[in-house]
């Protein structure tokens, strides 16, 4: 990975103001996680181009394959309420009551695919911010950097 695509901050206190707000909102979203099966709470927050912050958290089900990831809950919420407003930043974090998460949390492959398509659709980069309960915060400048050689709409065009 080309390092110009990534920024690393040592803690919340060192973040620029705009990123600090979206990071704090993702941490708040942990409180809304419904994860009785995995006990792995995930919080996400989207910062929209108009300054609004939209939360998402994971939403599990006894029928395990129906579990929804926090990032996709956040994006679906954004798209249903503000379909034409770009997401400039997506922040994601997690909390495990049994073991403190000290490393940044990485979005799963399915979420990367959905983040990428959302970014392609809006036509402007979406930064992706990853962090744990403590420790460093990693910022990727674009969702595209998280999914090299992606399958996308271009394969389906006429
Ligand atoms: N999870 C997310 O919410 N986002 C991810 O990117 C990775 C996984 C959730 C799904 C499930 O509720 C729990 O974390 C354990 O996999």
Fold (CATH) for 6-156: Cytidine Deaminase; domain 2 (3.40.140)
Per-residue model confidence (pLDDT) at position 2 = 58
pTM to 2 decimals? 0.96
Strand 87-95 and strand 137-140: the pairing is: unpaired
User: How far apart, in whole angstroms, are the C-alpha atoms of residue 108 and residue 114?
Assistant: 10
Q: How many CB atoms neighbour CB 153 within 10 A?
A: 9
* 3-class DSSP state of 11: coil
Residue with the nearest Cα to atom 1 of ligand 1? 69
Sign of the Cα torsion 20, 77, 122, 5 reads: positive
User: Ligand 1 in contact with 134 (CB < 6 A)?
Assistant: no
- Tell me the CA–centroid distance for residue 157 and ligand 1, in Å: 31
Measured between its terminal Cα atoms, the distance across the chain in Å is: 32
- Tell me the CA–centroid distance for residue 73 and ligand 1, in Å: 11
Per-residue model confidence (pLDDT) at position 157 = 73
User: Ligand 1 in contact with 56 (CB < 6 A)?
Assistant: no
68: which strand partners? 59
- Tell me the CA–centroid distance for residue 42 and ligand 1, in Å: 6
State the catalytic residues.
71
The rounded average pLDDT for each run of 10 residues, N- to C-terminus, in the chain (158 residues) is 84 95 98 98 98 98 98 98 98 97 98 98 98 98 97 89
User: Taking every pair of C-alpha atoms in the chain, what is the biggest distance, in angstroms?
Assistant: 50
């Amino acid at each position: 990975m080309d390092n110009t695509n990534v920024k690393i901050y040592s803690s919340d206190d060192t973040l620029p103001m705009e990123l600090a707000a979206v990071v704090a909102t993702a941490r708040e979203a942990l409180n809304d996680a419904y994860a009785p099966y995995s006990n792995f709470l995930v919080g996400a927050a989207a910062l929209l181009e108009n300054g609004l912050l939209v939360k998402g958290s994971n939403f599990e089900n006894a029928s395990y394959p129906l579990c929804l990831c926090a990032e996709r809950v956040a994006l679906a919420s954004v798209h249903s309420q503000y379909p034409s407003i770009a997401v400039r930043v997506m922040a994601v974090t997690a909390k495990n009551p049994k073991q403190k998460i000290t490393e940044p949390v990485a979005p799963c492959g399915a979420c990367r695919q959905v983040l990428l398509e959302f970014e392609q659709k809006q036509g402007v980069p979406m930064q992706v911010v990853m962090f744990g309960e403590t420790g460093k915060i990693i910022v990727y400048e674009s969702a595209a950097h998280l999914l090299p050689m992606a399958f996308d709409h271009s394969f389906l065009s006429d």
